[in-house]
Chain A
Amino acid sequence: MASVVFYFQVHQPFRLRRYSIFDSDINYFDDWRNETVLRKVAGKCYLPANRTILDMIRRHEGRFRVSYSLTGTVLEQFRRWAPEVLKSFHDLAATGCVEFIAETYYHSLAFLYNRDEFIAQTHMHRRLMKDLFGQEPRIFRNTELTYNNDVAKVVEDMGFDAILTEGADHILGYRSPNFIYNPPNCGHLRMLMKNYRLSDDIAFRFSNRGWSEWPLTAEKFANWVDQINGNGYVCNLFMDYETFGEHQWADTGIFEFLRVLPEKILTGGKNDFLTVSQAIHRYPSVGEVDVPHMISWADTERDISAWLGNSMQANALHDVYALADRVLSTEDAALAHDWRKLQTSDHFYYMCTKWFADGDVHKYFNPYESPYDAYINYMNILDNVRNRIAAKVHA
């Protein structure tokens, strides 16, 4: 038996507006752009993908199962600009075949800079999942699958059962991502590691006509999954949800693929679908995976250099977290919310100067003309946050 574990990341940041040093208002976010992007992606991806998945769950009478994590920032945006998307996630939650996974509410890199803030944002997100979908998340995934042994330990201490991360070659070596593992320094916490080859076949290569396997049919893919049989337990397909309809446009046939895949996987009764929690309850850990240094699912390096690879990023991250105590001591909820929205990892990703090799992906997601513009804009806003704090303190 090989179990397909689909996990989809759903996220949109609050992109910043152009903020000059000569600006002094407290409207940091580009509402127009954020609404436009959200509505566009809702129409192209979230609504049709949710519809497809709901249909497949019904058609296969609960044997098709998936897991999601939705960031706090994208959920706020659904509430404001696309409530119908939120409704469709409610419908999915109601099937009982969908698991919601916890992460930091603001899709932040808080773990790297401020442990308390990391825990606070994780609690916020847990509460949100409970409020919206009636689920108490048992599984955690850190922003962009950033992970090391320390993350695992903190996450276990918070009471989670398992954590997701990248099945990076330099970590796994000869071992396969198709098993359940556990961190060396934890008691019961389990690790699920992304099968990046099969995940990326869908997320990145699906429409690539230069790829020798193009066109990728559900049948062919189900065949590859079946090869795990006898040689692994799980097939961890982790990807951005925007793969469906946004990164791979509808006309590539991605929705048809998603529609046919459950049937192809389930045919013959050898393989099935599980949520993350179901997978760790069915299968044991086969051993320890030691991850002393931070890894992630980004770029070819699978490290955190996309967010913390140059001195601008280091400076911006350092400076935003340096404000933690002062922001929180003002007890100004709006200020704290703004400050936390500034922690979203995307802002630092936009400052990445690794143009070459991974440059295309970076440019695609980047609302700025250059990483330098991203940094300057961010630092100008942070300046204003500092002024707000100072004004509060003196008031």
Chain B
Amino acid sequence: MKIFMLGWEFPPHISGGLGTACYGMTKGLDEIGVEVVFVLPTAVPLAAPSHVTIRTAAHLQAVAGREGETLFRNVTLHQVDAKLQAYASPPADSKLLQELTAQMQASLSKATTPEFIRILQTELASFSRQFTAGAGVHYGGDLMGQVFRYARLALGLARHERFDVIHAHDWMTYPAGLAVAAVSGKPLVVHVHSTEFDRSGEKINQQVYDIERAGIQGADCVVCVSHLTRSIVAARYGVPEEKLEVVYNAVEWPSDQSGEELKPIRQDEKIVLFLGRVTMQKGPEYFLRAAKKVLEKFTNVRFVMAGSGDMITRCIQEVADLRIGQYVTFTGFLRGEDVNRVFQMADLYVMPSVSEPFGIAPLEALSHNVPVIISKQSGVSEVLTHVLKVDFWDIDEMANKILAVLRYPPLHRTLRQHGHIELRKLSWRDSANRLLGIYNRLSARPG
């Protein structure tokens, strides 16, 4: 079984859980003997990764079809230089887009599966119009250009690869997935790590939604990261239930298990951690309001907000308004070893997400022996029982639970012990096996 996998981020260059998920998933697939060619948009310096084969832009454009870099035994990583960035808001570059669109349409017209091509051509034309007319809220026009450039390059790459199934992660790779499926005639799996409704609430970006819907409707199977996401996809994207599957994410164990001893000298102060993008979706302001409530009862505590995002200024303002500045620390965006370090320092991790399709960070916290509070509006809440759960809007209850963890060591201890045990049941290998079942079913399907 060989998979042509389309993704947009991969460690160490990640901005959210998607890269982490793709890394773990490909590693799990590798372990069970599934071959993966992983196509990435950007040329990133790979810091001696251990598991996928990667190709840089130079590789791709000049020597398309050659071997990529091997990351795992069975996983090859290709990178196409489309500068795909999920949460960027660069200025519009309509000329580039038009050019790319034209290129893509040209390459598509040579392909063989007419209905997909028609859909794509129509969608492309409409994206192009919409894009030139105005930009989206979260995504600059350049991003749309990148999405289609990525699709074109991936298509080029696909011509030189043999594979059984195409697997595309999140909307930015869906046009590429549809195009490759149209040309190759191979079944397409789209993997929904989040939907536009999760990212933007009801004020969705129509262009993004249209791409998402085209991908979800055009796919042979739609893999959702939770039942929560599955129900959103079923309700909002007009897709038959039987096409929907749920495959949960899992967690990589921290490689440095001796981390315990490396803990920094602890201050007397308890540390409550928020770690994630500081955006509406992640509910940072609920975290801060709960912090205010906690401080009414308990002041020997520091609230750490690790992450960056479009709400960071508002959050800093909120901290000032609530007059809790001396108890809150903003670290900015953390990656790699810094993430491990901040987890090791934390007494409690809080994920107050308003909408969280899955949420890998609580698993990472548990893997570092940190108890967690998660919002009930998260997919990960479907798989974890040894955690505390709250409604994201219920700041009183959030504060009640934060206080309980800080004040009662037996609670902290029991959550840690059982959480750690529970985590062992969530392995990427199991998720990979679920995916393999789907791949087998699709590739066995006639025509």
Please indicate whether A and B come from the same complex rather than being unrelated chains: yes
Interface residues in chain A, defined as those with a beta carbon under 8 Å from any beta carbon in chain B: 20-22, 310-312, 314-315, 353, 355, 369-370, 372-373, 375-376, 379-380
Contact A21 B418 (CB under 8 A): no
- A371 to chain B minimum Cβ distance, whole angstroms, is 8
- From 363 to 396 in chain B, residues with beta carbon under 8 angstroms from any chain A beta carbon are 385-389, 396
A376: chain B residues at CB < 8 Å are: 388, 400-401, 404, 408, 411
Decide if B304 is an interface residue (CB 8 Å cutoff).
Answer: no
Q: List 12 A-B contacts (CB under 8 A).
A: A20-B400, A22-B400, A310-B414, A311-B414, A353-B414, A370-B389, A372-B388, A373-B388, A375-B404, A376-B388, A379-B407, A379-B411
Interface residues on B, range: 20 to 34
B397: chain A residues at CB < 8 Å are: 20
B434: chain A residues at CB < 8 Å are: none
Interface residues in chain B, defined as those with a beta carbon under 8 Å from any beta carbon in chain A: 293, 296-297, 385-389, 396-397, 399-401, 403-404, 407-408, 410-411, 413-415, 418
State whether A369 and B389 are in contact (beta carbons under 8 Å apart), knowing that A22-B400, A376-B404 are contacts in the complex: yes
Contact A353 B418 (CB under 8 A): yes
- Centre residue among B401, B408, B411 by max chain A CB count within 10 A: B411
- A390 to chain B minimum Cβ distance, whole angstroms, is 16
State whether A312 and B404 are in contact (beta carbons under 8 Å apart), knowing that A21-B297, A22-B293, A370-B385 are contacts in the complex: no
User: Nearest residue in A to B386 (C-beta to C-beta)?
Assistant: A353
State whether A312 and B385 are in contact (beta carbons under 8 Å apart), knowing that A20-B397, A20-B400, A21-B403 are contacts in the complex: no
B387: chain A residues at CB < 8 Å are: 372
B414: chain A residues at CB < 8 Å are: 310-312, 353, 372, 375
Contact B408 A379 (CB under 8 A): yes
B403: chain A residues at CB < 8 Å are: 21
A372: chain B residues at CB < 8 Å are: 386-388, 411, 414-415
Contact A314 B385 (CB under 8 A): no
State whether A21 and B410 are in contact (beta carbons under 8 Å apart), knowing that A353-B386, A370-B385, A372-B415 are contacts in the complex: no
Other A-B pairs, 19, CB within 8 Å; known A370-B389, A375-B410: A21-B403, A22-B296, A22-B396, A310-B410, A311-B410, A311-B414, A312-B410, A315-B410, A353-B386, A353-B414, A355-B385, A370-B388, A372-B387, A375-B404, A375-B414, A376-B400, A376-B401, A376-B408, A380-B404
Expressed in whole angstroms, the Cα–Cα distance for A312 and B418 within the complex equals: 12
A373: chain B residues at CB < 8 Å are: 388
A312: chain B residues at CB < 8 Å are: 408, 410-411, 414
- A226 to chain B minimum Cβ distance, whole angstroms, is 46
User: Nearest residue in B to A22 (C-beta to C-beta)?
Assistant: B396
Contact B389 A315 (CB under 8 A): no
Please provide the 4 A-B residue pairs with the shortest distance between their CB atoms, ordered closest to farther.
A315-B410, A311-B410, A376-B404, A20-B400
- B408: which of A22, A310, A315, A370 is its contact (CB, 8 Å)? A315
- Centre residue among B387, B399, B410, B418 by max chain A CB count within 10 A: B410
Expressed in whole angstroms, the Cα–Cα distance for A312 and B401 within the complex equals: 14
Expressed in whole angstroms, the Cα–Cα distance for A22 and B297 within the complex equals: 9
A314: chain B residues at CB < 8 Å are: 410
B407: chain A residues at CB < 8 Å are: 379
- Centre residue among B387, B389, B408, B414 by max chain A CB count within 10 A: B414
Expressed in whole angstroms, the Cα–Cα distance for A310 and B389 within the complex equals: 20
Contact A380 B408 (CB under 8 A): no
- B399: which of A22, A311, A355, A370 is its contact (CB, 8 Å)? A22
B410: chain A residues at CB < 8 Å are: 310-312, 314-315, 375
Expressed in whole angstroms, the Cα–Cα distance for A227 and B261 within the complex equals: 63
Contact A380 B411 (CB under 8 A): no
Expressed in whole angstroms, the Cα–Cα distance for A355 and B419 within the complex equals: 13
B415: chain A residues at CB < 8 Å are: 372
- Centre residue among B386, B408, B415 by max chain A CB count within 10 A: B408
User: Nearest residue in B to A353 (C-beta to C-beta)?
Assistant: B418
A353: chain B residues at CB < 8 Å are: 386, 414, 418
Expressed in whole angstroms, the Cα–Cα distance for A364 and B169 within the complex equals: 40
Expressed in whole angstroms, the Cα–Cα distance for A22 and B395 within the complex equals: 12
Expressed in whole angstroms, the Cα–Cα distance for A364 and B343 within the complex equals: 36
A21: chain B residues at CB < 8 Å are: 297, 399-400, 403-404
- B400: which of A315, A369, A370, A380 is its contact (CB, 8 Å)? A380
- Centre residue among A355, A370, A375, A376 by max chain B CB count within 10 A: A376
Expressed in whole angstroms, the Cα–Cα distance for A312 and B407 within the complex equals: 12
- A348 to chain B minimum Cβ distance, whole angstroms, is 12
Expressed in whole angstroms, the Cα–Cα distance for A370 and B371 within the complex equals: 15
- B349 to chain A minimum Cβ distance, whole angstroms, is 15
Expressed in whole angstroms, the Cα–Cα distance for A21 and B411 within the complex equals: 15
Expressed in whole angstroms, the Cα–Cα distance for A104 and B403 within the complex equals: 34
User: Nearest residue in A to B297 (C-beta to C-beta)?
Assistant: A21
Expressed in whole angstroms, the Cα–Cα distance for A20 and B388 within the complex equals: 14
Expressed in whole angstroms, the Cα–Cα distance for A26 and B84 within the complex equals: 58
Expressed in whole angstroms, the Cα–Cα distance for A376 and B397 within the complex equals: 11
User: Nearest residue in B to A376 (C-beta to C-beta)?
Assistant: B404
User: Nearest residue in A to B402 (C-beta to C-beta)?
Assistant: A21
